């Protein structure tokens, strides 16, 4: 019998974990700080505090890229460290992992190998598509719904999932997320004002101004560097620049949503037209995003409470409920397509 069961939702910038033994969900930054490209200096939240502040000999590394594992060994070490620190990490545990809904089988298997072939000595590893985990986490009757559309806006990707009758109908992973909005803001500020700001400062501007609301003459003073004089200073950034920078990435997300809706079978589409779009992910709380999507798609948009924890909440239900557990599967199962 397994000593514990963990549910893992590995986001690009944040890891969400359900610990069955403690009946608790917790999260940590998905980041490692390395010294001289050889030695791991710190991990998780402590490492993230060094982002854009570390000296030259310390590199802050994000093991995930575009929703998939980019640095396997770093990700494995980070996960082991997070589970081990003051949490009585036990070998022989079971794992249920939420994976992106539109990735290759090789990328999907990397999530499986992450804990199965590690010092954790996992007893079993089961996976489930993140869109299905999110539907369960919302409390939706996933087996009887005729059409569900979930849009997960994350750190580097936007995952679109169409579900019906307990399974995935269509899905798409768009490589646009919070980091792309922030880069667009920083680039436009640099181009228009000859003023250099970091990604974290751009993130502050995005969160402060949002997408759709606030007065058109608002501004925010931030720290950066004047590119003409080379001197660090404070500069007032108008809301217009921030909104203009986010316009194209948002439009691309809307185009992808409409494209997926156009491909949706008529019977499933009727269910979506009735229920609308469910908005999840760490970026779902961005002010005005739901209103923007409603006006752009013509569909009702429902933002889920604690949207960044939606998938891991679904994993919790799957671990605790045998019926929901049937939605998960092992890549070692004889009928799994990877082995065919």
Distance of CA 196 to the CA centre of its chain: 27
Distance of CA 278 to the CA centre of its chain: 15
* 5-133+310-339 CATH: 3.30.420.40
Non-local CB neighbours of 7 within 8 Å, separated by 6+ positions: 17, 18, 20, 95, 96, 97, 98, 312, 315, 316, 318, 319
Looking at residue 217, its pLDDT comes to 79
Contact 14, 308 (CB under 8 A): yes
Q: Render pLDDT for 266-315 as a digit per residue (tens, 0 to 9).
A: 999 999 999 999 999 999 999 899 999 999 999 999 999 999 999 999 99
Alpha-carbon distance of 105 to 107, in angstroms, equals 5
Among 254, 260, 310, smallest CA distance to 280 is for: 310
Q: Render pLDDT for 139-151 as a digit per residue (tens, 0 to 9).
A: 998 999 999 999 9
Q: Which residue blocks in 49-90 are alpha helix, DSSP H?
A: 72-84
Q: Render pLDDT for 69-118 as a digit per residue (tens, 0 to 9).
A: 998 888 888 888 877 754 445 567 889 999 987 888 888 888 888 888 77
Alpha-carbon distance of 205 to 240, in angstroms, equals 11
Distance of CA 28 to the CA centre of its chain: 13
Q: Tell me the whole-structure pTM to 2 decimals.
A: 0.91
Looking at residue 3, its pLDDT comes to 74
DSSP secondary structure letters along 83-141: HHTTS---TT-EEEEEE-SS--HHHHHHHHHHHHTSTT--SEEEEEEHHHHHHHHHT--
Contact 278, 149 (CB under 8 A): yes
Looking at residue 85, its pLDDT comes to 52
The domain spans of the chain are 5-133+310-339
Alpha-carbon distance of 92 to 302, in angstroms, equals 39
Alpha-carbon distance of 257 to 259, in angstroms, equals 5
Contact 97, 69 (CB under 8 A): no
Looking at residue 133, its pLDDT comes to 96
């Amino acid at each position: 019998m397994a000593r514990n069961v963990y549910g893992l939702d590995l986001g690009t910038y944040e890891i969400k974990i359900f610990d069955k033994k403690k009946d608790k969900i917790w999260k940590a930054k998905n980041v490692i700080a390395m010294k001289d490209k050889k030695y791991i200096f710190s991990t998780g939240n402590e490492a993230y505090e060094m982002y854009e502040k570390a000296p030259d000999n310390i590199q802050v590394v994000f093991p995930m890229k575009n929703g998939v594992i980019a640095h396997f060994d770093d990700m494995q070490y980070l996960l082991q460290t997070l589970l081990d620190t003051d949490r009585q990490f036990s070998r022989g545990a079971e794992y249920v992992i939420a994976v992106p809904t539109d990735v290759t089988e090789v990328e999907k298997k990397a999530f499986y190998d992450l804990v199965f072939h590690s010092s954790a000595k996992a007893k079993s590893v089961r996976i489930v598509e993140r869109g299905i985990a999110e539907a369960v986490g919302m409390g939706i009757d996933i087996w009887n719904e005729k059409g569900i559309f979930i849009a997960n806006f994350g750190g580097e990707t936007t995952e679109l999932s169409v579900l019906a009758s307990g399974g995935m109908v269509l899905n798409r992973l768009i490589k646009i997320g919070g980091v792309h909005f922030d880069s667009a803001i920083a680039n436009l500020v640099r181009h228009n004002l000859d003023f250099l700001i970091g990604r974290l400062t751009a993130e502050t501007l995005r969160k402060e101004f949002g997408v759709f609301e606030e007065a058109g003459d608002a501004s925010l003073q931030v720290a950066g560097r004047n590119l003409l004089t080379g001197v660090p200073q404070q500069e007032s950034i108008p809301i217009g620049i921030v909104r203009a920078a986010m316009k194209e990435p948002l439009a691309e997300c809307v185009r992808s949503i409409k494209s997926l809706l156009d491909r949706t079978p008529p019977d499933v589409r009727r269910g979506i037209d009735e229920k609308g779009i469910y908005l999840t992910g760490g970026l779902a709380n961005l002010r005005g995003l739901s209103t923007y999507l409603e006006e752009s798609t013509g569909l009702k948009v429902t933002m889920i409470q604690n949207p960044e924890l939606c998938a891991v909440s679904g994993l919790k239900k799957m671990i605790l409920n045998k019926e929901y557990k049937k939605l998960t599967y092992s890549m070692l199962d004889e009928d799994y397509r990877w082995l065919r």
